[in-house]
Amino acid sequence: MKNQLRIIGGEWKRRTLPFATIEGLRPTPERVRETLFNWLMWDIQNAQVLDLCSGSGALGFEALSRGAAKVTMIEPNPTQARFLKDNIQLLKAENCQLLVTTAQQALSKLKNSFDVVFLDPPYSLDLWQELAELADPMINPNAYIYVEADRDLAQLKLPDNWQKIKETKAGMVRAGLYQKVV
Protein backbone atom coordinates (compact mmCIF):
# COMPACT_ATOMS: atom_id res chain seq x y z
CA MET A 1 0.00 0.00 0.00
CA LYS A 2 1.33 3.43 -0.85
CA ASN A 3 0.29 7.03 -0.56
CA GLN A 4 1.11 10.10 -2.64
CA LEU A 5 2.45 13.53 -1.82
CA ARG A 6 2.45 16.48 -4.17
CA ILE A 7 5.32 18.91 -4.61
CA ILE A 8 3.78 22.36 -4.45
CA GLY A 9 6.41 24.66 -5.95
CA GLY A 10 9.57 25.01 -7.96
CA GLU A 11 11.00 22.87 -10.74
CA TRP A 12 8.90 19.80 -9.88
CA LYS A 13 5.67 21.65 -9.07
CA ARG A 14 2.59 19.37 -9.19
CA ARG A 15 4.71 16.18 -9.39
CA THR A 16 3.35 13.43 -7.19
CA LEU A 17 5.61 11.02 -5.37
CA PRO A 18 4.63 7.77 -3.66
CA PHE A 19 5.49 6.91 -0.07
CA ALA A 20 4.88 3.89 2.14
CA THR A 21 2.01 3.42 4.57
CA ILE A 22 3.83 3.27 7.90
CA GLU A 23 2.39 4.06 11.32
CA GLY A 24 3.45 7.53 12.41
CA LEU A 25 4.54 8.60 8.91
CA ARG A 26 2.73 11.81 8.03
CA PRO A 27 3.91 14.27 5.41
CA THR A 28 3.93 17.92 6.43
CA PRO A 29 0.52 19.23 5.31
CA GLU A 30 0.59 21.17 2.02
CA ARG A 31 -0.69 24.34 3.70
CA VAL A 32 2.15 24.23 6.25
CA ARG A 33 4.73 23.43 3.54
CA GLU A 34 3.55 26.38 1.48
CA THR A 35 3.91 28.68 4.51
CA LEU A 36 7.37 27.25 5.32
CA PHE A 37 8.73 27.70 1.81
CA ASN A 38 7.27 31.21 1.60
CA TRP A 39 9.28 31.96 4.76
CA LEU A 40 12.41 30.40 3.22
CA MET A 41 11.86 31.72 -0.31
CA TRP A 42 15.13 33.67 -0.49
CA ASP A 43 17.15 31.39 1.78
CA ILE A 44 16.54 27.96 0.23
CA GLN A 45 18.39 28.88 -3.00
CA ASN A 46 21.80 27.12 -3.04
CA ALA A 47 21.34 26.03 0.59
CA GLN A 48 22.88 22.95 2.17
CA VAL A 49 19.81 21.25 3.69
CA LEU A 50 19.52 18.55 6.34
CA ASP A 51 16.22 16.65 6.55
CA LEU A 52 16.69 14.88 9.90
CA CYS A 53 13.61 12.66 9.83
CA SER A 54 12.72 12.48 6.15
CA GLY A 55 9.72 10.17 6.25
CA SER A 56 7.83 10.82 3.01
CA GLY A 57 10.54 13.19 1.82
CA ALA A 58 8.02 16.04 1.39
CA LEU A 59 10.28 18.71 2.90
CA GLY A 60 13.52 17.54 1.27
CA PHE A 61 12.05 17.14 -2.22
CA GLU A 62 10.28 20.50 -1.91
CA ALA A 63 13.62 22.10 -0.96
CA LEU A 64 15.34 20.53 -3.99
CA SER A 65 12.49 21.59 -6.27
CA ARG A 66 12.96 25.17 -5.08
CA GLY A 67 16.71 25.35 -5.67
CA ALA A 68 18.55 23.89 -2.67
CA ALA A 69 22.16 23.03 -3.59
CA LYS A 70 22.09 19.71 -1.71
CA VAL A 71 19.72 17.85 0.57
CA THR A 72 20.82 15.15 3.00
CA MET A 73 17.86 12.93 3.92
CA ILE A 74 17.85 10.56 6.89
CA GLU A 75 15.32 7.72 7.07
CA PRO A 76 15.76 4.59 9.22
CA ASN A 77 12.76 2.61 7.90
CA PRO A 78 14.03 0.38 5.05
CA THR A 79 10.61 0.22 3.35
CA GLN A 80 10.24 3.99 3.20
CA ALA A 81 13.94 4.41 2.34
CA ARG A 82 13.29 2.35 -0.83
CA PHE A 83 10.51 4.80 -1.80
CA LEU A 84 12.87 7.73 -1.18
CA LYS A 85 15.63 6.10 -3.24
CA ASP A 86 13.19 5.43 -6.11
CA ASN A 87 11.91 9.03 -5.96
CA ILE A 88 15.47 10.39 -6.00
CA GLN A 89 16.11 8.34 -9.16
CA LEU A 90 12.75 9.32 -10.70
CA LEU A 91 13.53 13.03 -10.22
CA LYS A 92 17.20 12.55 -11.21
CA ALA A 93 18.08 14.38 -7.99
CA GLU A 94 21.84 13.82 -7.99
CA ASN A 95 22.21 16.49 -5.31
CA CYS A 96 20.23 14.40 -2.81
CA GLN A 97 22.01 12.08 -0.37
CA LEU A 98 19.98 9.42 1.46
CA LEU A 99 21.27 7.91 4.70
CA VAL A 100 19.36 4.79 5.77
CA THR A 101 19.96 4.95 9.50
CA THR A 102 18.60 6.71 12.57
CA ALA A 103 19.10 10.45 12.87
CA GLN A 104 21.21 9.88 15.99
CA GLN A 105 23.58 7.52 14.13
CA ALA A 106 23.77 9.79 11.10
CA LEU A 107 24.53 12.89 13.19
CA SER A 108 27.39 11.10 14.92
CA LYS A 109 29.06 10.53 11.50
CA LEU A 110 28.13 13.59 9.39
CA LYS A 111 30.87 16.15 8.90
CA ASN A 112 28.86 18.63 6.81
CA SER A 113 27.50 21.98 7.89
CA PHE A 114 24.00 23.11 7.01
CA ASP A 115 22.13 26.31 6.14
CA VAL A 116 18.61 24.90 6.59
CA VAL A 117 17.56 22.03 8.86
CA PHE A 118 14.17 20.29 9.03
CA LEU A 119 13.43 18.84 12.49
CA ASP A 120 10.16 16.95 12.15
CA PRO A 121 10.52 13.63 14.02
CA PRO A 122 7.72 11.11 14.56
CA TYR A 123 5.70 12.77 17.31
CA SER A 124 5.44 9.64 19.48
CA LEU A 125 9.24 9.33 19.79
CA ASP A 126 9.68 12.78 21.42
CA LEU A 127 13.12 13.32 19.82
CA TRP A 128 13.12 17.12 19.40
CA GLN A 129 15.52 17.99 22.22
CA GLU A 130 17.92 15.09 21.59
CA LEU A 131 18.16 15.69 17.84
CA ALA A 132 18.40 19.47 18.26
CA GLU A 133 21.37 19.10 20.61
CA LEU A 134 23.11 16.59 18.32
CA ALA A 135 22.51 18.67 15.18
CA ASP A 136 23.33 22.10 16.63
CA PRO A 137 27.15 21.88 16.09
CA MET A 138 26.55 21.23 12.34
CA ILE A 139 24.20 24.16 11.88
CA ASN A 140 25.83 27.26 10.43
CA PRO A 141 25.51 30.62 12.21
CA ASN A 142 22.32 32.41 11.08
CA ALA A 143 21.00 29.17 9.54
CA TYR A 144 17.29 28.37 9.67
CA ILE A 145 15.75 25.44 11.53
CA TYR A 146 12.18 24.37 10.82
CA VAL A 147 10.55 22.55 13.74
CA GLU A 148 7.24 20.70 13.51
CA ALA A 149 5.42 19.17 16.48
CA ASP A 150 2.06 18.13 17.85
CA ARG A 151 2.39 20.40 20.91
CA ASP A 152 3.26 23.94 21.84
CA LEU A 153 6.79 24.62 20.59
CA ALA A 154 7.80 26.16 23.93
CA GLN A 155 7.55 22.67 25.46
CA LEU A 156 10.31 21.23 23.23
CA LYS A 157 13.44 22.41 25.12
CA LEU A 158 15.32 23.52 22.01
CA PRO A 159 18.80 25.09 22.23
CA ASP A 160 18.90 28.62 23.67
CA ASN A 161 20.74 29.91 20.59
CA TRP A 162 17.75 29.00 18.36
CA GLN A 163 15.58 32.10 18.14
CA LYS A 164 12.00 31.57 16.97
CA ILE A 165 11.20 34.04 14.20
CA LYS A 166 7.95 32.66 12.72
CA GLU A 167 5.21 30.29 13.86
CA THR A 168 2.08 28.76 12.36
CA LYS A 169 -0.56 26.20 13.29
CA ALA A 170 -2.71 23.94 11.10
CA GLY A 171 -5.00 21.52 12.90
CA MET A 172 -2.82 19.59 15.35
CA VAL A 173 0.42 20.65 13.62
CA ARG A 174 2.49 23.37 15.29
CA ALA A 175 5.36 24.65 13.21
CA GLY A 176 8.07 27.19 13.82
CA LEU A 177 11.00 28.67 11.98
CA TYR A 178 14.05 29.33 14.13
CA GLN A 179 17.33 31.02 13.36
CA LYS A 180 20.60 30.05 14.99
CA VAL A 181 22.05 33.14 16.61
CA VAL A 182 25.69 33.39 17.63
Global pTM? Answer: 0.96
Cα–Cα distance between 57 and 116 in angstroms, integer? Answer: 15
pLDDT at 2 over 80: no
CATH number for region 3-180: 3.40.50.150
Domain range list for the chain? 3-180
The tens digit of pLDDT for each residue in 50-96 reads 999 999 999 999 999 999 999 999 999 999 999 999 999 999 999 99
The radius of gyration of the chain from alpha carbons, rounded to an integer in Å, stands at 15
Of all residues in the chain, the percent with pLDDT exceeding 70 is 99
Q: Is 97:60 a contact under the CB 8 Å cutoff?
A: no
Q: What angle do CA 30, 70, 64 make, to 5 degrees?
A: 30
Q: How confident is the model at residue 144 (pLDDT cuts 50, 70, 90)?
A: very high
